[in-house]
């Protein structure tokens, strides 16, 4: 075993799990810095295909992003492939781009590029045996532990709706989950999109029409604890998914 980090070795380790292999304790050698973690993300997306992004905070502090495989973006009502027992669920909003978004776009151009905003789930399911035990840069290389995105219905009048709480409710196997909603403003979303347009272009993964972008948990993460079905609502919009844990 070498003590030198290698992008190809790290990405191959993660791809084996994406394709059904056993989850390792960690990468053979953790990425030494954020540039190396992003290089692993790029290699994984090159193999799996992109189309989705998520915002994440490294060590709960610094804003970063994860490029996610578009093949793991599914419609409401689907049943997901079997999940690890430590999987969790978050209720989020997904920004769906209605136009390509280029670096340096002004606020109005960014706003106009959002085709719609949909209620969604993010499934937290790491490629590692214990996502809480790995180095933060390993989790970053692994797309910040994102396992899938489930797209629900569009929020009516989303520009107004995102001015405050969405009154989100979550049910697991028909039982209401007790959780407070994290409010995320439209201005925060626009700020992230401006940053992401620059970042995505620098990663040679420019933002394109149809890309799905999630900007953080409004509810969760909530442990699934063996639940076989999840449903959430925000006003008239709903999202649901079947689960196999």
Q: pLDDT by residue (tens digit) across 17-67?
A: 999 999 999 999 999 999 999 999 999 999 999 999 999 999 888 999 999
Residue 198 phi/psi, 5° resolution?
-70, -45
Please give the average per-residue pLDDT across 141-148, as a whole number.
98
| Residue 229 belongs to some domain of the structure | yes
Provide the CATH number for the domain around residue 151: 3.90.850.10
Structure tokens at 194: 């401006």
pLDDT in the model for residue 1: 47
| Residue 156 belongs to some domain of the structure | yes
| Residue 194 belongs to some domain of the structure | yes
101 pLDDT more than 80 = yes
Q: pLDDT by residue (tens digit) across 184-239?
A: 999 999 999 999 999 999 999 999 999 999 999 999 999 999 999 999 999 999 99
Residue 15 phi/psi, 5° resolution?
-65, -35
* DSSP-derived secondary structure letter, 28: S
Question: How many C-beta neighbours within 10 Å does residue 157 have?
Answer: 9
Q: pLDDT by residue (tens digit) across 7-16?
A: 999 999 999 9
| Residue 66 belongs to some domain of the structure | yes
| Residue 2 belongs to some domain of the structure | no
- Residue 84's domain spans which residues? 7-242
pLDDT in the model for residue 60: 80
| Residue 184 belongs to some domain of the structure | yes
Number of domains in the chain: 1
Q: In whole angstroms, what is the distance from residue 194 CA to residue 202 CA?
A: 13
| Residue 1 belongs to some domain of the structure | no
139 pLDDT more than 80 = yes
What pTM does this model have?
Answer: 0.96
pLDDT in the model for residue 20: 95
Spatial CA neighbour of 152 closest among 121, 174, 183: 121
């Amino acid at each position: 075993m070498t003590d030198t980090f290698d992008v190809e070795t790290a990405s191959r380790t993660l791809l084996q799990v994406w394709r059904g292999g056993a989850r390792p304790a960690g990468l053979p050698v953790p990425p030494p810095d954020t540039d190396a973690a992003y290089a692993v993300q790029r290699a994984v997306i090159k193999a799996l295909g992109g189309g989705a992004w998520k915002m994440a905070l490294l060590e709960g502090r610094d804003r970063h992003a994860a490029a996610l495989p578009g093949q793991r973006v599914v419609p409401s009502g689907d049943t997901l492939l079997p999940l690890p027992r430590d999987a969790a669920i978050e209720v989020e909003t997904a920004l769906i781009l209605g136009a390509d978004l280029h670096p340096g776009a002004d606020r109005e151009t960014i706003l106009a590029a959002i085709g719609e905003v949909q209620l969604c789930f993010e499934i937290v399911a790491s490629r590692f045996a214990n996502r809480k035990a790995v180095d933060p840069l390993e989790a970053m290389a692994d797309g910040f532990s994102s396992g899938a995105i489930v797209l629900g219905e569009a929020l009516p009048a989303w520009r107004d709706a995102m001015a405050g709480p969405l009154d989100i409710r979550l049910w697991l196997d028909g039982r209401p989950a007790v959780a407070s909603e994290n409010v995320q403003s439209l201005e925060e979303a626009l700020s992230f999109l401006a940053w992401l347009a620059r970042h995505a272009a620098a990663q040679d993964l420019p933002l394109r029409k149809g890309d799905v972008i999630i900007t953080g948990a409004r509810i969760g993460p909530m442990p699934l604890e063996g639940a076989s079905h999840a449903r959430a609502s925000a006003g008239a919009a709903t999202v649901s998914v079947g689960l196999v844990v």
